[in-house]
Structure 1
Amino acid sequence: MLPDVLALVGGLALLVAAASALVRGAAALALRLGLTPLVVGLTVVAFGTSAPELVVSVQAALAGAGGIAVGNVVGSNVANIGLILAVAVLVRPIASDPALLRRDLPALVAATALAVALLWDRALGRGEGTMLLVGLVAYLVWSVRTARREQAAVELPVAAPAGPAWRDALFVVAGLGGLVWGADLFVGGAVRLAEAAGVSNAVIGLTVVAVGTSLPELATTVVAAARGEGEIAAGSVVGSNLFNLLGILGVGALVEPLVAPGLRPVDLAVMAAFTVALVPMMLSGRRLVRAESGVLLAGYVGYMAFLLLQPV
């Protein structure tokens, strides 16, 4: 069991470090190509922090562990709202960005409803995966065009990052390689521990794997909140959840149709409930406050207790 725990911890550490390198290099290269920081934030950074979930879910799909692949996405979305965003709000209350309320939050609610409907039978085929990926492309095109229009009146020159471009490319290559290697270690350790404990792959995906692969979002969100950049913190969570549902589930199902017999309707309902709860919380007073974060945290702790106390 010790080698499996070491593989889990080592793989997780490698995932976090590799994701950081990938985001740093990709964001710098995007800026060199003339993309604005706003567009980079909407695409490269938000999706880069979801890279561990993507690689882990694809590795799990290839290994025939569909429960981990799907549970990772569902559990990560719950953790992003109930744990990560809640902790960020505890650090500092977060104002609700009007563009987020108008564009991205409704898109997340719609994507969640679609994913719940497709996963209700605990399976996701290639056709359904294609549908999710088409939704992701449509959202990306819409959000980037809207963001460019909204900032057109105050457009500023984009300064190229300091240092050579080859260094940024090296960060991207090293980050991608580290993600693949870390995910292989992480998924292997998680699967073997689940088998040894008699716990379903879905439960492992909803708990250990989901929290572990969400660490890049945790770091990004808490640092942004501490610096008073609440819009970045909230946008990172909403963007990451959208990519998890449309991109990761879509790619995973295309690689290998996903079957998650351990996933239950209550897990999908919890994910939907946390997502829908964000709407009134962000609309009330146009900000997330510490009392609301306490509600989210209590709900997350209760859900984790429910999962872990289920009979084996």
Structure 2
Amino acid sequence: MLLPLSAIILGFAVVIWSADRFIAGAAGLARNLGISPMVIGLTIVGFGTSAPEMLIAGFSAFEGSPGMAIGNAIGSNITNIALILGVTALAAPLTVHSQTLRRELPLLILITVLVLALLLDGDLSLFDGILLMGSLFVVMGWIIYTAMAARDHGDPMEAEFEAEVPVLPMGKAIFWLLVGLALLLASSRLAVWGAVE
């Protein structure tokens, strides 16, 4: 019991740290390649912050624990919205001026409803997975297109992304990208092993 519990704690601790390093490396590399900070924020940083959940869900499914994978995905979504936004709003009122966010909120609701509809039969099939992945690529493509168009109209999110994307030398960005990815894979596997055991 002690060993699996230690694996869970250590796994999650390393997952959090390595995800941060992976995002910094990927975002820094993209910036060095001349990619817009807003596009980096909407894609690389967005996917990077979800990397722990994706890896843990993937390893859980391969370990024969699909319930853990689904619970992880839905639970992290609830936590991100209710807990993070709730705590932030308690600290200071939130005012959203960005058209980018106003366009994304209906998409969030739409995707959530789609997932609930697909889960009504108690099964996520291969077709369901293809449908969800296809929806992801369509939504991301649309978000990138509208974000790039919004740059010409002074979307306030552009300045936020500009400040958040790290400036790293190319070598250091690649180093943290690879180290972060390797540790993400190892720590996610460790956390899932501890949870399953």
TM-score normalised by structure 1 residue count: 0.58
Task: With a CA cutoff of 8 Å and minimum separation of 6, indicate the structure with the bigger relative contact order.
Answer: 2
In 2, the alpha carbon distance for the partners of 1:96 and 1:121 equals 37
In 2, the alpha carbon distance for the partners of 1:170 and 1:29 equals 10
Question: What's the offset of the Cα at 1:88?
Answer: 1.6
Question: What's the offset of the Cα at 1:143?
Answer: 0.6
Q: Deviations over 1:133-174 (max 9, x none)?
A: 110110111011101111125599x89965531210111111
In 2, the alpha carbon distance for the partners of 1:45 and 1:92 equals 24
In the other structure, the counterpart of 1:304 is none
Matches within 5 A, 1:255-270: none
Matches within 5 A, 1:165-244: 165-192=170-197
Matches within 5 A, 1:1-312: 1-100=1-100, 102-154=102-154, 162-192=167-197
RMSD: 2.0
Report the 3-state secondary structure (helix = DSSP H, G, I; strand = E; otherwise coil) of the residue aligned with 1:35.
Answer: coil
Aligned residues, how many?
A: 191
In 1, the alpha carbon distance for the partners of 2:91 and 2:114 equals 33
Report the 3-state secondary structure (helix = DSSP H, G, I; strand = E; otherwise coil) of the residue aligned with 1:8.
Answer: helix
Report the 3-state secondary structure (helix = DSSP H, G, I; strand = E; otherwise coil) of the residue aligned with 1:140.
Answer: helix
| Structure 2 unmatched runs, 5+ | none
In 1, the alpha carbon distance for the partners of 2:128 and 2:17 equals 32
Report the 3-state secondary structure (helix = DSSP H, G, I; strand = E; otherwise coil) of the residue aligned with 2:152.
Answer: helix
| Structure 1 unmatched runs, 5+ | 193-312
The alpha-carbon distance between structure 1 residues 128 and 162, as it changes in their structure 2 partners (threshold 3 A), is: closer
In 2, the alpha carbon distance for the partners of 1:104 and 1:121 equals 28
In 1, the alpha carbon distance for the partners of 2:18 and 2:130 equals 28
In 1, the alpha carbon distance for the partners of 2:191 and 2:121 equals 27
Question: What's the offset of the Cα at 1:100?
Answer: 4.1
Q: Deviations over 1:93-120 (max 9, x none)?
A: 2112342453100101110110000011
The alpha-carbon distance between structure 1 residues 174 and 149, as it changes in their structure 2 partners (threshold 3 A), is: same
- The answer to whether the 8 A contact 1:32-1:161 is kept is no
Question: What's the offset of the Cα at 1:34?
Answer: 1.4
- The answer to whether the 8 A contact 1:18-1:175 is kept is yes
Q: Deviations over 1:264-302 (max 9, x none)?
A: xxxxxxxxxxxxxxxxxxxxxxxxxxxxxxxxxxxxxxx
Identity %: 39
In 2, the alpha carbon distance for the partners of 1:5 and 1:59 equals 17
